[in-house]
Amino acid sequence: MNIVHIASELAPFAKVGGLADMVYGLAQECRRLGARVEVIIPKYDHCFKEAQMVMQNLKSFDGPNSYDNTIWRIDVHGLTVTLVEPHHPEQLFRRGLIYGCPDDVSRFIYFSRAALEYLYKRKDKIDVIHVHDWSTAICAPLIKQMYLLLGLAVKKCVLTIHNLEHQGLCTVQDLSQSGLNGKDFLTSDKMQDVKNPELINLLKGGIIYATDVTTVSPRYEKEIKTPLGGAGLDTLLTHVQHKLKGILNGIDLDYWRPDFTIEQKKDKKSALQKKLKLETSDAPLACAVTRLATQKAPDLIRHAIFRTLEKGGQFVLVGTPASPEIDQMFRKVKKELSKNKKVAIVLDYDEPLSKLVFAGADMIVIPSLFEPCGLTQMIAQRYGTVPVVRATGGLADTVFEGETGFLFEYPDEAGVNWALDRALACCRDQKEAWKKLIQNGMSRDFGWKKPAEEYMKVYSDSARLI
Ligand code: ADP
What does the pLDDT look like over 435-463, one tens digit per residue? 999 999 999 999 999 999 999 999 999 99
Q: Is the CB of 17 under 6 A from ligand 1?
A: yes
Residue in 9, 26, 165, 354 to alter for ligand 1 test, most ligand atoms within 8 A of Cβ: 354
Atom of ligand 1 nearest to the CA of 377: 6
Tell me the C-alpha distance between 182 and 178, whole Å.
Answer: 9
Alpha-helix residue ranges (DSSP H) falling in 383-430: 393-398, 413-429
Q: Is the pLDDT of residue 296 over 80?
A: yes
Stretch 304-327: mean pLDDT, rounded?
Answer: 97
Q: Is the pLDDT of residue 38 over 90?
A: yes
Provide the pLDDT for residue 48.
72
Provide the pLDDT for residue 149.
97
Provide the pLDDT for residue 445.
97
Taking CA atoms only, the protein residue closest to ligand 1 atom 4 is 17
Taking CA atoms only, the protein residue closest to ligand 1 atom 24 is 349
Taking CA atoms only, the protein residue closest to ligand 1 atom 12 is 17
Tell me the C-alpha distance between 226 and 392, whole Å.
Answer: 13
Per-residue CA distances from 35 to 21, 147, 160, 455 (Å): 19, 23, 19, 12
Q: How far is the CA of 250 from the centre of ligand 1 (A)?
A: 14
Q: Is the pLDDT of residue 47 over 90?
A: no
User: Any bridge partners for residue 215, and if so which?
Assistant: 161, 246
As a whole-number percent, the residues of the chain with pLDDT over 90 amount to: 97
Asked whether 114 and 86 are in contact (CB, 8 A), the reply is: yes
pLDDT band with cut points at 50, 70 and 90 for residue 49: confident
Q: Is the CB of 360 under 6 A from ligand 1?
A: no
Asked whether 351 and 273 are in contact (CB, 8 A), the reply is: no
Q: Is the CB of 319 under 6 A from ligand 1?
A: yes
Q: Is the CB of 420 under 6 A from ligand 1?
A: no
What digits encode the pLDDT tens for the residues 393-434?
A: 999 999 999 999 999 999 999 999 999 999 999 999 999 999
Tell me which amino acid residue 453 is: E
Taking CA atoms only, the protein residue closest to ligand 1 atom 22 is 349
Stretch 212-233: mean pLDDT, rounded?
Answer: 98
Written as one string, the DSSP assignment of 106-131 is: HHHHHHHHHHHHHHHHHT-EEEEEEE
What digits encode the pLDDT tens for the residues 52-87?
A: 999 999 999 999 999 999 999 999 999 999 999 999
- Pick the range with the lowest mean pLDDT from 42-46, 279-283, 389-393, 405-409: 42-46
Between 45 and 132, the higher pLDDT residue: 132
Stretch 187-196: mean pLDDT, rounded?
Answer: 98
